[in-house]
Amino acid sequence: MEREKIVVLADKVRSLGAHKGILISTSGFQSGAIEYARQHGIALLQIFDKYVMHIQASINLQTNHMLMEFIRQSPEFYAYQWNTRLNDCSDKKIYPSETMLLEIKNKVLKEYNEDSK
């Protein structure tokens, strides 16, 4: 996302008398946009499709049925917060929480253990 979108949001935040704003993107942010957001108190979030997240994290793309079931039961999208001091990537997953993912993992493991009996 380009800087001008951040400028528009920052102007709107200022005109409303608010202290902070949040901008959400599915495509990331340009370095100028990140710097402007940092200077003007705008939080940047990026949303990823769950399948994209798991493909990016995979070294070996072999089919693992348990992993596919985990992905199927996971939320459709993942949200990451951008650290405006790092201009090239989002760095903090904020949704789903680690607790949510652990619950899904345990559920899938339980289902697979029951199916293998």
Q: Give pLDDT tens digits for 4-29.
A: 999 999 999 999 998 889 999 888 88
Instruction: Please tell me the pTM assigned to this model.
Output: 0.58
Residue 88, pLDDT score: 59
Closest CA to 36 of 2, 81, 80, 76: 2
Instruction: Count CA atoms closer than 13 A to 48's CA, side-chain side.
Output: 23
CB of 74 closer than 8 Å to CB of 50:
yes
User: What radius of gyration do the chain's Cα atoms show?
Assistant: 18
In terms of pLDDT, which residue wins out, 27 or 64? Answer: 27
For residue 35, what are the contacts with CB-CB under 8 A and spacing of at least 6?
Answer: 84, 87
Domain boundaries, the chain: 3-115
